[in-house]
């Protein structure tokens, strides 16, 4: 689902179940272009997800190999506040 914010001046009718708006063509085209950009970005991320996860795992393995970080030895300093 996509959330769209438009100026209230385009509102025609409103009830409990729906709203009716009269959106000018230029605004509608802009919204469609923005939505297409978001969909394209989602597609890129979906196709590259495996490569990104492999990269992260490689980095974690390198850290563990060097002893920089291991889940068992990580201790949070209790004097610091975690927000």
Please give the full DSSP string across 15-68, using - where no structure is assigned.
Answer: -SS-EEE---HHHHHHHHHHHHHHHHHHHHHHHHHHHHHHHHHHHHHHHHHHTS
Number of domains composing the chain = 1
Instruction: Please check whether residue 58 lies inside any domain of the structure.
Output: yes
pLDDT, one tens digit per residue, over 52-83 is 888 888 888 888 887 776 555 455 555 555 54
Instruction: Please check whether residue 56 lies inside any domain of the structure.
Output: yes
What gap in Å lies between CA 69 and CA 71, rounded to an integer?
Answer: 7
In the Cβ-directed half-sphere of 71, how many Cα atoms lie within 13 Å? 2
Residue 37 near residue 44 (C-beta atoms within 8 A): no
pTM: 0.39
Instruction: Please check whether residue 51 lies inside any domain of the structure.
Output: yes
Domain of 61, in residue numbers? 43-67
What is the band of 13 on the pLDDT scale with cuts at 50, 70, 90?
Answer: very high
């Amino acid at each position: 689902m996509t959330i769209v914010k438009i100026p209230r001046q385009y509102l025609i009718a409103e009830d409990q179940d729906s709203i009716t708006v009269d959106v000018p063509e230029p605004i509608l085209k802009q919204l469609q272009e923005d939505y297409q950009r978001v969909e394209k970005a989602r597609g890129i991320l979906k196709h590259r997800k495996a490569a990104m996860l492999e990269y992260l795992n490689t980095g974690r393995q390198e850290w563990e190999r060097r002893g920089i970080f291991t889940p068992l030895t990580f201790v949070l300093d209790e004097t610091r506040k975690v927000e």
